[in-house]
Amino acid sequence: MQSAALMSVYVLTIIAVQAIGAVASKLVETQWPSAGLATFLLIFMAEFGVAWPLAVRITEWGIRAAGYRVDGVDA
């Protein structure tokens, strides 16, 4: 069950970061039209490295806040 929660949080985190990236690239494109695509691609590639640790922390916090023990953690 905890793995399903983690994957759900990961997908939602990816969607949120992707939305932020789309808005940021549009803002950059209004000032520098040639840099909009590069900005989008940079944020798109970086989001996968940023979203996973963020999703893990959010999920662990949610599991502990609900009063359960996190599987696989020696604490």
pLDDT digits (tens, 9 = 90+) for 26-60: 999 999 989 989 999 999 999 988 999 999 999 99
pLDDT tier for residue 19 given thresholds of 50, 70 and 90: very high
The percent of residues above 90 in pLDDT, for the chain, comes to 65
Distances in whole angstroms, Cα of residue 12 to Cα of each of 32, 39, 51, 60, 74: 30, 21, 9, 15, 27
pLDDT at 66 over 80: yes
Q: Average the pLDDT over 12-39 and give the result.
A: 92
> Has this prediction a pTM greater than 0.85?
no
